[in-house]
């Protein structure tokens, strides 16, 4: 391909609304253009990279025995009602109406569609296992689309769905996908690692996210260098010690704390109650039911864990007025010892189990209670792990200190169980003729997000550094004279033909531009190899080969093709 015959609109400066480096580079290198917030056009070079990432995914999915299909983006509302997700996922669904006023959803995912297909097409254990996948455009009504392709309203996702006869068989399907994901991200040149994850609104019993470490990532990963434990911070637990028991100290005793409404204020003199001897009481409304959450004063509630323990229903913190209505006091004086209506559910964090001689709000503005014993004085409905893990806490598996780092989630594997197959009637007859629901798994890869993650990991001050496997072109030929018939241009054209004949993907920069402009653009786009052909080097009988990551090599013209080919060999 010749530069002047395609469209590569490079920019010196990124538009001001591009926040993170990879987003800026996508725009500056002329890979994408924004149509509206969270909606992008792929330009020729961006599309070439996208197709390569897709092809790697396709090859590894096929190798793992998955079957490619293509499902519609338009999905009838009815199938979403059958699974209950018309309601639970409504926040992210794009809805459209046709001329007959029938409602449709633009596919954010396809559990409903594939399970409906399986309900019709799978009837016997002989047809199982089956794993169907597609690579297609998905839609999410992101309120705040940002970071380019990282969080967009329209994006490309690979989604796969496995159907098995049993839990054990489903686990084997899960493991196959887990291994395939490692290969996919490795081939994309991404440093990646799986972490234990929360199953979220999709539901299911077992899940891992594939993470790419990056300072700009929206996920926080808790990990242990010593034993390899790694989990999304929304899910992570630690081996943090419980609360030391003390002398019970008699019955709860009320004392005045005028104006004290924070853990910190109560820890100062004249009160001097250490944060870890305080019980923090939070009031949430889950749908419309009040729920109290008790957590140690020095801990933070993890709302994802809370959500998982309250059925994934809509929730929000109660307003101060609602706290008064429910408990008789405003935030800062709340507790769970007195005046808690019997119908209010009380969830307590495990770290408070057995804690005594604690201090908490008295449910009377300006008063607290001391000598509170959880076992004796508080009606706890359920004990759960609800706290957020902090860096430095001991690993739950080996006791070594945990670290936290930011990462981009590029893939997710879930074991779904029979949640969808039961609701949509995807069942099979087993060997004895009994009807059983298929056991499912689902597996996603954010294809466009993966593309951007590759840039987030591979760049320097000059631009993008593509791995060979996904580079838009492997070689950029840069003749410094482009007039037809000029010996420099003639040599460039000869190299172009010879390399292309060997299957190398070559872009010929035939623009009549200064060398500096051409070199800057080639580095910005990030071609793995740039070959400069100029009058001076040609006079010496040489061309200059410059790997994007590596030192410049002067090579005799006669050896140029083999010199370039040598650079294209994967290391090792």
Measured CA to CA, the distance from residue 251 to residue 248 in angstroms comes to 8
Residue recorded with tokens 């989990």: 231
Cβ 439 vs Cβ 461: under 8 Å: no
- Shortest distance, position 238 Cβ to Zn ion, whole Å: 10
Closer of 10 and 403 to Zn ion (Cβ): 403
Comparing CB distances to Zn ion, the nearer of 231 and 329 is 231
- Considering the complex, state which of residue 323 and residue 389 has its C-beta at the smaller distance from Zn ion: 389
Tell me the pairing of strands 403-417 and 219-223.
antiparallel
Give the nearest distance from C-beta 221 to Zn ion in angstroms.
14
Which residue is it, tokens 């790694």? 230
User: How many CB atoms within 10 Å of residue 126?
Assistant: 10
Beta bridge partners of 436: 428
The least CB distance from residue 196 to Zn ion, in Å, is 13
The minimum distance between CB 182 and Zn ion, in angstroms, equals 21
> 211 or 524, CB closer to Zn ion?
211
Shortest distance (Å) from residue 239 CB to Zn ion? 9
Angle separating helix axes 560-567 and 487-501, nearest 10 degrees: 50
d(CA 210, CA 280): 34
Return the number of the residue (74 or 226) whose C-beta is nearest Zn ion. 226
Q: C-alpha 79: how far from its chain's center?
A: 26
User: Which residue number, 222 or 372, has a Cβ lying nearer to Zn ion?
Assistant: 222
Least gap, CB of 504 to Zn ion (angstroms):
46
Binding site for Zn ion (CB under 5 A): 224, 226-227, 229, 395, 397-398, 400
How far from 244 is each of 292, 293, 320, 348, CA to CA, in Å?
23, 20, 32, 16
In the complex, what is the shortest distance from the CB of residue 392 to Zn ion, in angstroms, rounded to a whole number? 13
Please identify, using beta-carbon distances, which residue of 110 and 395 lies nearer to Zn ion: 395
Angle between helices 167-187 and 44-63 (to 10 degrees): 140
Integer Cα distance of 358 and 78 in angstroms: 52
Which of 202, 180, 204, 205 minimizes the C-alpha distance to 194? 180
Specify the residue, 139 or 229, whose C-beta has the smaller distance to Zn ion.
229
Give me the least distance between CB of 389 and Zn ion, in Å please.
12
Between 147 and 229, CB nearer to Zn ion: 229
Q: Report, in Å, the least distance between residue 393 CB and Zn ion.
A: 11
Which neighbouring-strand residues pair with 405? 221
Q: How far is the CB of 397 from Zn ion (least distance, A)?
A: 4
Which one, 180 or 236, has the nearer CB to Zn ion?
236
Query: Given the structure tokens 């040599």, which residue do they identify?
Result: 491
Residues 6+ apart with CB under 8 A from 122: 128, 130, 163, 426, 428, 438
Assess contact for 41 and 32: CB atoms under 8 A: yes
Residue 292, CA distances (Å) to 161, 263, 287, 289, 381 in order: 38, 17, 14, 10, 10
Length of the chain: 572
3-state DSSP percent of the chain in helix, strand and coil, to 5 = 30, 30, 40
Report H helices in 502-559.
515-525, 535-539
Question: CB-wise, 214 or 230, nearer to Zn ion?
Answer: 230
Q: Can you list the alpha helix ranges (DSSP code H) found in 415-472?
A: 419-424, 447-457
- State in angstroms the smallest separation of the CB of 111 from Zn ion: 34
Collapsing DSSP to helix, strand or coil, 108 comes out as coil
Q: Which is nearer to Zn ion, 348 or 402 (CB)?
A: 402
3-state secondary structure 13-81: CCCCCCCCHHHHHHHHCCCEEEEECCEEEECHHHHHHHHHHHHHHHHHHHHCCCEECCCCCEEEHHHHH
**Shortest distance in whole angstroms from residue 227 CB to Zn ion:** 3
Tell me how far apart the alpha carbons of residues 423 and 94 are, in angstroms, rounded to a whole number: 23
Cα separation values, 142 from 145, 150, 219, 407, Å: 5, 11, 17, 20
- Which long-range contacts does 240-244 make (Cβ < 8 Å, 24+ apart)? 240/351, 240/389, 240/393, 240/394, 242/350, 242/351, 242/353, 242/354, 242/355, 243/276, 243/296, 243/351, 243/352, 243/353, 243/354, 243/355, 243/358
Looking at beta carbons only, is 226 or 566 nearer to Zn ion? Answer: 226
User: Which of residues 7 and 226 has its CB atom nearest to Zn ion in the complex?
Assistant: 226
Residue number with CB closer to Zn ion (213 or 479): 213
Least distance in angstroms from the C-beta of 60 to Zn ion: 30
Q: CB of residue 226 vs Zn ion: minimum separation in angstroms? A: 5
CB of 433 to Zn ion, least distance (A): 48
The two beta strands, 289-296 and 345-349, are parallel
């Amino acid at each position: 391909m010749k530069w002047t015959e395609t469209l590569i609109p490079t920019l010196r400066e990124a538009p001001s609304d591009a926040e993170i480096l990879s987003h800026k580079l996508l725009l500056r290198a002329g890979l994408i253009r924004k149509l509206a917030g969270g909606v992008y056009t792929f330009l020729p070079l961006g599309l070439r990279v996208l197709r390569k990432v897709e092809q790697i995914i396709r090859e590894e999915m096929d190798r793992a025995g998955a079957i490619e299909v293509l499902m519609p983006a338009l999905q009838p509302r009815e199938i979403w009602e059958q699974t209950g997700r018309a309601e639970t996922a409504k926040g992210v669904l794009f809805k459209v109406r046709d001329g007959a006023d029938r409602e449709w959803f633009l596919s954010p995912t396809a559990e409903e569609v594939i399970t409906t297909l399986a309900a019709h097409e799978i009837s016997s254990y002989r047809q199982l296992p089956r794993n169907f996948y597609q690579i297609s455009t998905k839609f999410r009504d992101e309120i705040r689309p940002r970071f380019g392709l990282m969080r967009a309203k329209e994006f490309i996702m690979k989604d796969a769905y496995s159907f098995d006869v049993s839990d054990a068989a489903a686990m084997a399907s899960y493991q196959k996908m887990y291994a395939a994901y490692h290969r996919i991200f490795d081939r994309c040149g991404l440093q990646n690692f799986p972490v234990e994850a929360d199953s979220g609104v999709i539901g299911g019993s077992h899940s891992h996210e594939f993470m790419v470490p990056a300072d700009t990532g929206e996920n926080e990963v808790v990990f242990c260098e010593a034993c390899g434990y790694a989990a999304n911070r929304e899910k992570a637990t630690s081996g943090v010690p419980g609360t030391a028991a003390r002398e019970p100290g008699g019955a709860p005793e009320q004392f005045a704390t005028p104006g004290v409404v924070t853990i910190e204020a109560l820890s100062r003199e004249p009160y001097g109650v250490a944060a870890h001897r305080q019980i923090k009481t939070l009031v949430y409304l889950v749908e419309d039911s009040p729920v109290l959450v008790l957590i140690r004063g020095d801990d933070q509630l993890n709302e994802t864990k809370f959500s998982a323990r309250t059925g994934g229903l809509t929730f929000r913190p109660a307003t101060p007025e609602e706290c008064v209505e429910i408990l008789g006091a405003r935030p800062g004086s709340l507790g769970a010892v007195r005046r808690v209506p019997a119908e209010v559910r009380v969830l307590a964090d495990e770290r408070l189990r057995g804690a005594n001689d604690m201090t908490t709000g008295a449910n009377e503005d300006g008063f607290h209670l001391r000598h509170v014993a959880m076992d004796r004085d508080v009606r706890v409905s359920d004990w759960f792990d609800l706290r957020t893990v902090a860096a430095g806490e001991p690993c739950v598996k080996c006791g070594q200190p945990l670290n936290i780092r930011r990462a981009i989630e590029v893939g997710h594997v879930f074991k779904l169980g029979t949640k969808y197959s039961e609701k949509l009637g995807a069942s099979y007859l087993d060997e004895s003729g009994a009807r059983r629901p298929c056991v499912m798994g689902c597996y996603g890869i954010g294809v466009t997000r993966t593309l951007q993650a590759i840039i987030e990991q591979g760049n320097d001050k000059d631009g993008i550094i593509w791995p060979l496997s996904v580079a838009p072109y492997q070689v950029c030929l840069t003749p410094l004279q482009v007039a037809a018939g000029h010996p420099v241009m003639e040599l460039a054209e000869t190299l172009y033909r010879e390399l292309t004949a060997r299957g190398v993907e070559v872009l010929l920069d035939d623009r009549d531009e200064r060398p500096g402009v051409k070199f800057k653009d080639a580095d910005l786009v990030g071609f793995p190899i740039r070959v400069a052909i100029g009058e001076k080097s040609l006079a010496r009988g040489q061309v200059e080969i410059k790997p994007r990551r590596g030192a410049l090599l002067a090579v005799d013209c006669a050896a140029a093709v083999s010199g370039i080919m040598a650079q294209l060999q994967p290391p090792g």
